């Protein structure tokens, strides 16, 4: 890649080159320690004599902006950067839209900065050490060989055929979905699948029903499309279907493991939801984010498997069972939605990274995914049981766990007045990461409690961490 220098005319060539390089160094465009092209190469690129370039380099060296290393080359020696002065903002036609985005609360924007405590109960996070690195490496090597065949060309918008087929088989096996590979659309995680469905089904002024409390990023995403988001309360059986208003175009639910409270939607409530959606003409988005880990009771039918009228879009993710940085998810769509959904995906993203798709397809087909889920299931089950022992015992005076049969987080509700915000701050000082339930409420007064994730904390650390929490609670009384 050539160094960007513009030479005009035929006068003061060395001076022009010197001034542009000086400005590039002092402004920070050329970073300290960065190597610049040899004089012979730069002269050839700019159509100058080597003597002209050497003269400019010599002046820069005299100014201590370049340093030469014998036999190696010349390197930038940048002075301390001056304090940047704020530029006056231009009057933009889209200023109102910018302000709308700037005012938007995005609680998970810096999620990577959370989870820094020694003992972490951050929901949705897994333990990277359990990831089957060797098996994945072999699948990536397979993907590299597959990718050679299509290198230099854009891929299929709907996803690599091998992965779509693998997902269809996996979803049918593990969740009872009734679908073919033709209904599978590969996405960059659940969030892109939700964004795609929002663009497909919503316009400014449309109404969307979401669970209250619920997943804040879904609410924010739908609102960003100009939709009116209506929170619908939940009880021990899930969404209160009779509270879904008419005029709703889309209903977003987490029926297998309600986020964040954790209860499972009853079968009767599922049938009622499908009937209500059909009555008002709404599409139901079923977010099945962590149902792979179920610990007790019989599995419940997914909404998609109960759907007889093509009104359920099933959204799944590999972030919770594998690693979030893979950024691979999928949507299983009703056949009537698929042609338009392909166009939405195509104009917004074209397609997901092909190599990761090939690797994941191989990982699923070789049985590594199911084996990994079984291994993690045993690990999470032990952690879940240890948490239950603590909340049924030493922490019982303050909290009650909401019954949950799946996933790797639980909600702990306060059954006595408690300053949860203070508890969270004091726990952080004790190197324990706790997270309040209140942040997931929007339309109604929040219930006081905690969301306890156990995907990222080792079994033996639970006793130490919750022992510290108990001590803090005793000191707060």
Note down the domain range covering 437. 113-126+371-476
pLDDT score of 102: 82
Contact 329, 188 (CB under 8 A): yes
**Is the previous residue joined to 464 through a cis bond, with omega within 30 degrees of 0?**
no
Contact 198, 227 (CB under 8 A): yes
Q: Say which residues have a Cβ less than 8 Å from residue 38's Cβ, sequence separation at least 6.
A: 73, 74
CATH of the domain at 270: 3.40.640.10
Contact 450, 398 (CB under 8 A): no
pLDDT score of 4: 86
CATH of the domain at 424: 3.90.1150.10
Whether residues 329 and 254 fall in one domain: yes
From 366, 397, 424, give the residue that closes a domain. 366
Whether residues 318 and 343 fall in one domain: yes
pLDDT score of 113: 53
pLDDT score of 86: 63
Contact 420, 436 (CB under 8 A): yes
Domain count, the chain: 3
- d(CA 285, CA 254) in angstroms, rounded, equals 8
376 located within any domain: yes
pLDDT score of 151: 74
Vertex 216 angle, CA 250 and 263, to 5°: 80
pLDDT score of 398: 96
pLDDT score of 83: 65
- d(CA 71, CA 73) in angstroms, rounded, equals 6
DSSP for 349-388, written as a single string: TS---HHHHHHHHHHHHTTHHHHHHHHHHHHHHHHHHHHH
425 located within any domain: yes
Whether residues 391 and 277 fall in one domain: no
Whether residues 339 and 384 fall in one domain: no
- For the stretch 325-377, pLDDT in tens is 888 999 999 999 999 999 999 999 888 989 999 999 999 999 999 999 999 99
- d(CA 325, CA 228) in angstroms, rounded, equals 31
- d(CA 140, CA 152) in angstroms, rounded, equals 18
Whether residues 377 and 351 fall in one domain: no
Closest to 199 in 3D by CA, of 307, 101, 134, 283? 283
CATH of the domain at 24: 1.10.10.10
| pTM, entire model | 0.86
Q: What is the C-alpha R_g of the chain?
A: 28
5 located within any domain: no
- d(CA 275, CA 307) in angstroms, rounded, equals 10
Residue numbers in the chain where pLDDT is lower than 70: 1, 81-87, 89, 107-115
Whether residues 337 and 199 fall in one domain: yes
276 located within any domain: yes
From 366, 397, 416, give the residue that closes a domain. 366
457 located within any domain: yes
């Amino acid at each position: 890649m050539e160094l960007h220098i513009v030479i005009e005319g035929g006068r003061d060539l060395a001076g022009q080159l010197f001034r542009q390089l000086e400005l590039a160094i002092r402004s920070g465009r050329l970073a300290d320690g960065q190597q610049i092209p040899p004089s012979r190469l730069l002269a050839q690129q700019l159509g100058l004599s080597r003597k002209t370039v050497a003269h400019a380099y010599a002046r820069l060296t005299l100014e201590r902006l370049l340093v030469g290393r014998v036999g190696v080359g010349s390197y930038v020696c940048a002075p301390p950067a001056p304090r940047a002065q704020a530029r006056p903002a231009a009057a933009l036609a889209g200023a109102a839209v910018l302000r709308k985005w700037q005012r938007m609360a995005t609680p998970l924007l810096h999620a990577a900065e959370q989870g820094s405590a020694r003992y972490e109960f951050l929901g949705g996070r897994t333990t990277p050490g359990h990831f089957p690195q060797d098996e994945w490496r072999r699948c990536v090597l397979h993907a590299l060989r597959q990718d050679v065949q299509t290198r230099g060309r854009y891929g299929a918008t709907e996803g690599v055929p091998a992965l779509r087929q693998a997902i269809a088989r996996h979803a049918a096996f593990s969740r009872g979905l009734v679908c073919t590979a033709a209904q599978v659309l590969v996405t960059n995680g659940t969030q892109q699948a939700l964004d795609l469905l929002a663009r497909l089904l919503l316009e400014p002024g449309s109404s969307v029903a979401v669970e209250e409390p619920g997943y804040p990023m879904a609410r924010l995403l739908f609102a960003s499309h100009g939709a009116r988001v209506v929170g619908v309360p939940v009880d021990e059986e899930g969404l209160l279907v009779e509270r879904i208003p008419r005029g709703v175009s889309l209903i977003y639910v987490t029926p297998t493991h309600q986020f964040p409270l954790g209860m499972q939607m009853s079968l009767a409530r599922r049938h009622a939801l499908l009937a209500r959606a059909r009555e008002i003409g709404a599409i139901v988005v079923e977010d099945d984010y962590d149902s792979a880990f179920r610990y007790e009771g019989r599995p419940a039918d997914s909404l998609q498997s109960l759907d007889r009228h093509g009104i359920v879009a099933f959204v799944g993710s590999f972030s919770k069972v594998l690693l979030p940085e893979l950024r691979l998810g999928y949507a299983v769509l009703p056949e009537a939605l698929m042609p338009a959904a392909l166009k939405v995906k195509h104009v917004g993203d074209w397609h997901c990274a092909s190599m990761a798709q090939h690797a994941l397809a191989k990982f699923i087909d070789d049985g590594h995914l199911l084996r990994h889920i079984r291994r993690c299931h045993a690990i999470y089950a032990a952690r879940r049981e240890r948490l239950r022992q603590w909340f049924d015992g030493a922490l019982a005076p303050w909290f009650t766990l909401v019954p949950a049969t799946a996933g790797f987080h639980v909600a702990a509700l306060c059954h006595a007045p408690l300053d949860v915000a203070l508890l969270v701050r004091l726990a952080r000082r004790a190197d324990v990461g706790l997270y309040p339930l209140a942040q997931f409420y929007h339309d109604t007064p929040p219930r006081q409690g905690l969301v306890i994730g156990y995907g990222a904390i080792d079994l033996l650390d639970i006793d130490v961490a919750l022992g510290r929490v108990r001590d803090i609670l005793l000191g707060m009384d």
